Amino acid sequence: MLKYFIYCRKSTEEEERQILSIEAQLTELREFAKQNNLFVAKEFTESQTAKEPGRPIFNTMLSEIEKGNASGILAWNPDRLARNSVDGGRIIYLVDIEKIQSLKFPTFWFEATPQGKFMLSVAFGQAKYYTDNLRENILRGIRQKIRRGELSAKAPLGYFNEPRLRTIEPNKKTFRKVKEVLRTFATGEYTLTKIQSKMFSLGLVGKDGKPLHLSTIQGILKNPFYYGHFLYRGELHQGSHKPMISKKLFDKIQEALILNGKPREKRGPKNFLFLNFAVCGECGYTITAERHIKKSGLKFVYYRCTHKSKTQNCSQTRFLREEILTEQVKEICQKVSLPDNWREKYLAKVNEWKKENRQSSELFAQNLKTELEKVKTKINRLMDAYLEGDLELPEFQLKKNDLMSEKKTLEEKLSDFERKGNHWLELVRNWIIEANQAKNLVLDDNFSEMKNFLKKIGSNRRIFDQRLFVDFKKPWDYLYFLPAEARAEGEGEAKNGVNRFWWTRPDLNRRSPGCKPGVLPLNYRPLVGARGLEPRTPSLSVTCSNQLSYAPIKINNSFLTGKLFTLFLKIIFNPVSLKIFSQSLSDLKEVLVGLPKKLSKKIPWSWQINFDKISSGKSS
C-alpha cells in the first residue's frame, strides 16, 4: 500500500493573513484521502512563497521521499507544490526515477505516464506564468502610485495605511508625538539613547511593548517621508501625503545626527560645562574634558583634543583650562552683542522700511520661481539623459536625489515668502533684539545659555593653539569683526567716537605699528566682498597677514552705523539681484561721495565702482 505525504502551503508568513488557507486545505485533503482510501503517513504545512526555491519544509518532505519513507504526495493543487522551474523540475525528476509513484490533487488529474508528466509540467509552467504576470501587474500599480506621490509600503511611525482609499494618512495618536521627538532631536542636545528614552516615555514603543531599537530610531530620523518625500529603490520621489516637518528642520536633524548620533556608553554626570561644544582646529576630532584634583583638594577642568585620528598626527597636545575657555566664550558673546542705543536706531530704521515700496519683495518671489523652474528643467534633462543611456542608474539616482532636495527647499522658501510677505523685516527685528539681549548672558555669567547661543548663531566651533574660533553666520559676523573702538559711541569702551579702518594700498609698502608678521587667523572673514577692503586688523587678537600693507584712516562712527550698516542688513535678510538694489546702490554712492577728500584719496583703484553701469545691469 502506497504511503502519502499531505503538503499544505500558504504564500505569506504573516499569521493574520490567509488564516483559513492551511486549515481549509487540511480539511479537504483529509476528506479526499478518506474517500479514496489513501494511507497518509505524515502531514507537512508551510507558510512561504513558492516563486523561489529553498523552502525548508518542502525540501524536508522530498528528502523523506528519496529515503523511501513515502512514495506519494497529496496536495490541493500543483501550484501548492511549485511555482518555480527548479522545484517543479525536481518533482518531475523524482517521478521519472519512480521515487514518486503517485501524485493526487482534488482539482487536477495526474498519472505517471508521458501525457501525465507533460500535463504536470504545463501546470507548473502555468503556475510560474501566473506568478510572473502577477508581479508585473503589481509593479505597474506601484509605479502608478509613485507617479501620484503615494508610497506603496507600510506607513512609517506617526502615519497609518488608510485601507479604504489605500493612502497613507497621519495617525492621530502618534503624529504629534513623533513630531515632538523630531523637533527635540534637532536641537542637538540629545543622543540616540536619550531620544530612545524620550520616545518610550511618550508611548512610542515596538510591537512587543519594549523601547524601539536604536537602528530603528536612526531610520526614523533619516526618513525623508517626514518632510514630504519618500525613497523607493534608492530614488527620491515627491509625496502627496501631509508632511510632518519642514525640509529645514530635517536638515538640522541630519546635522545633529552626525554630531550626536553615535551611541556611547552611559556614564554618570560629569558636569563639564563645554563638553561636545567644539572640535580640534587641526584634526577635526572632538574636544574632550578632564577633571584633575590636587592633593590640596583643588579641582581643575581641562579641555584637550582626543587624538583619535589614525591618518593624521595632531600637534595640539596642550591643555586648555576651563577658566580660560570661559573668558574666551564671554569675549566672543560680548563681540556679537548690540549696544542699547544702536538697538533703538536700528529698530527705528526697520519701521521706516515697512513704509517703503514693496517692489523688491515681488522681484524676490519672482527670482525664487525662476530658480525653481531651473531645478525642474534640470530634473527633466537628467531623466532624458538616463533614458538615453548616458547615465548609469546609481549616478542618476544620486543626482536626482540632490535636485529633489534642492527643489523642496526652494518650494518651502517660496511658500513661506508668499504666506508671510515681508517676513524678512521680522527677521531683522528679531535679530536686533536677540543681539541686544546677548550682553545680558555675559552680565549674568550664564555659560550654559552662552554655549547654546553660540551653537545657534555660529558653526565650525574649533579650538586651535588654546584659542576658541567660531564661524558666524551673517549678519553676526559683522558684529564679531567690528573693532572695539567702533562701540565707543554705544558702549563707552573708548575715550573718543572715532573708529579706525584699514584699507589696502597695493602701491604702498608701509606697515601699521603693532602688526607683527604671521598668518590670518582661522576665523578670518572679510566684512565686505568688494576687492580692496581688508579686515580691521587692530580688532584681531592674533597675528595678521605679512603680505599686505595698511594705512590708518579715521571715519566717524555715525557714518559706520548709519547708511552702510542698514544697507548691509537689507542685503543679508532680503537677498535679491543687483537690479533690485539700484536704489540701494545709489544710497551707497551718496555715502562714498560724501566721504572726506582725504579718505576718498586713500581708496584704492580696485574699489572705484561705476555705479551707473551696475545700476543699469550693464556691468557684472
User: Do residue 74 and residue 167 come from a single domain?
Assistant: no
Give 428: exposed, middle or buried? Use CB within 10 Å, 0-12, 13-18, 19+.
buried
Return the C-alpha cell found at 127: 503556475
Residue 38 domain-assigned (yes or no) = yes
Mean pLDDT throughout 533-557?
38
User: Do residue 410 and residue 498 come from a single domain?
Assistant: no
User: Do residue 499 and residue 524 come from a single domain?
Assistant: yes
Residue 305 domain-assigned (yes or no) = no
User: Do residue 89 and residue 172 come from a single domain?
Assistant: no
Lowest average pLDDT, out of 43-52, 136-145, 462-471, 502-511, goes to: 502-511
What's the CATH number where 208 sits?
Answer: 3.90.1750.20
Residue 462 domain-assigned (yes or no) = no
Backbone angles phi, psi at 228, to 5 degrees: 115, 0
Which residue, 147, 146, 178, 145, is CA-closest to 160?
178
Residue 102 domain-assigned (yes or no) = yes
Q: What is the DSSP string of 55-112?
A: -HHHHHHHHHHHTTS-SEEE-S-HHHH-SSHHHHHHHHHHHHTTS--EEEBTTB---S
Distance (Å, whole) CA 490 – CA 488 = 5
What pLDDT band is residue 497 in, cutting at 50, 70 and 90? very low
Task: Give me the number of domains the chain comprises.
Answer: 4
User: Do residue 109 and residue 163 come from a single domain?
Assistant: no
pLDDT tens-digit profile of 317-376? 888 888 888 888 888 888 888 777 777 788 888 777 776 655 566 677 788 888 889 888
> pLDDT value at position 244?
92
User: Do residue 503 and residue 398 come from a single domain?
Assistant: no
User: Of 260, 283, 303, at which residue does a domain stop?
Assistant: 260
Residue 122 domain-assigned (yes or no) = yes
More confident residue, 510 or 397: 397
pLDDT of 525 above 50: no
- Give one word for 420, left, alpha or beta, with left for phi > 0 and alpha for psi -120 to 50: alpha
- Give SS3 for 7: strand
User: Do residue 585 and residue 547 come from a single domain?
Assistant: yes
User: Of 239, 260, 281, at which residue does a domain stop?
Assistant: 260
- Give SS3 for 498: strand
Residue 326 domain-assigned (yes or no) = no
User: Of 404, 421, 438, at which residue does a domain stop?
Assistant: 421
> pLDDT value at position 65?
92
What's the CATH number where 111 sits?
Answer: 3.40.50.1390
Mean pLDDT throughout 42-49?
91
> pLDDT value at position 60?
93
pLDDT of 420 above 90: no
User: Do residue 63 and residue 178 come from a single domain?
Assistant: no
User: Do residue 50 and residue 126 come from a single domain?
Assistant: yes
pLDDT tens-digit profile of 160-198? 999 888 889 999 999 999 999 999 999 888 888 889 999
pLDDT of 555 above 50: no
Residue 597 domain-assigned (yes or no) = yes
Tell me which DSSP letter residue 10 carries: E
Q: Which residues contact 598 (CB under 8 A, 6 or more apart)?
A: 553
> pLDDT value at position 477?
78
User: In the β-sheet with 279-280, what is the strand arrangement from edge to edge?
Assistant: 279-280, 458-464, 467-472
Q: Which residues contact 358 (CB under 8 A, 6 or more apart)?
A: 421, 422
The residue segments making up the domain with residue 213 are 159-260
User: Do residue 120 and residue 220 come from a single domain?
Assistant: no
pLDDT tens-digit profile of 450-491? 888 888 888 888 888 888 888 887 778 777 777 666 665 555
Tell me which DSSP letter residue 159 carries: E
What pLDDT band is residue 508 in, cutting at 50, 70 and 90? very low
pLDDT tens-digit profile of 86-116? 999 999 999 999 899 999 998 888 888 888 8
User: Do residue 118 and residue 15 come from a single domain?
Assistant: yes
3-class SS string, 307-343: CCCCCCCCCCCCCEEHHHHHHHHHHHHHHCCCCHHHH
Residue 327 domain-assigned (yes or no) = no
> What does pTM read for this prediction?
0.47
User: Do residue 115 and residue 219 come from a single domain?
Assistant: no
> pLDDT value at position 601?
43
pLDDT tens-digit profile of 230-244? 888 888 888 889 999
